[in-house]
Amino acid sequence: MIKVVTWNVNSINSRLERVKAFLERESPDFLCLQELKCSEDKYPLESITATGYHSAIFGQKAYNGVAILSKKPVEILFRNFDPDDDASRSITIRTPFGFDLINAYVPNGQAVGTEKYAYKLAWLKKAKKFVQQHWTPSDKLVFVGDFNIAPDDRDVYDPVAWKEHIHCSAGERTALNDLVSIGFIDSFRMHDQSSGVFSWWDYRELSFARNKGLRIDLIYATPLAAASCRSVRIDKDERRGDKPSDHAPVIATFDF
């Protein structure tokens, strides 16, 4: 079994001990991290290497940044979908298990109608074009990350209150569906159709305790890869305790 995890850690250096404990406890084959919030020279490479993991890193000072931690060495295929984008938002690797893996941190978008919102929609279009250029639906590809979009109302604690707000707007969902339509399956929904299961909770208003969250951390797979997906779960325990990230890890197990 191959375990693939996506987790927005909201600063790798602030949560290094949590990450190391997670690696020891869950022993994932691939841990895909978003929002490192550090340049590559500030990434805690020595500490991660001491756990037995290799790191494929694409950092950025203070903002963004993605990394894939793996038990075995991997080949980095691409950094970013658009070479002209100066934000470190995606890294793609070739795994030794017959599938490729994209780890992405989708732009937040700030608010509907802003320039950052337009950038988010354009970024998703570039993601679709990038995938179509390099893979076909018959390839084994897994695409994970913090998508900053709740795919449908089941993924929102209060769909009425969030209607047409950032993360839940029709424009974002249309852009995400357009990307997914080229041949991706939401691995979580293969196993769980229920509502009220979330991966992100605001730090404010006791949101976690009241389960006022969104499911925005997603693991997509092409049909051949999805056919090997045996389980998907969200580790809510990582949202508890001292100074957690506002995101919980999403853990998928594949029988590649």
Catalytic amino acids?
105, 146
CA distances from 31 to 14, 113, 211 (A): 17, 34, 25
Instruction: Report the residue count for the chain.
Output: 256
Instruction: Confirm if 177 and 121 have CB atoms less than 8 A apart.
Output: no
Backbone angle region of 91, left / alpha / beta, with phi > 0 → left and psi within -120 to 50 → alpha: beta
Which stretches of 30-181 are DSSP H helices? 45-50, 115-134, 159-162, 170-180
Question: Do 170 and 164 meet the contact criterion of CB atoms below 8 Å apart?
Answer: yes
Which of 214, 219, 210, 234 lies closest to 167, judged by CA?
A: 214
- List of residues 6+ apart from 114 with CB closer than 8 A: none
d(CA 60, CA 57): 10
11, 36 in Cβ contact below 8 A?
A: yes
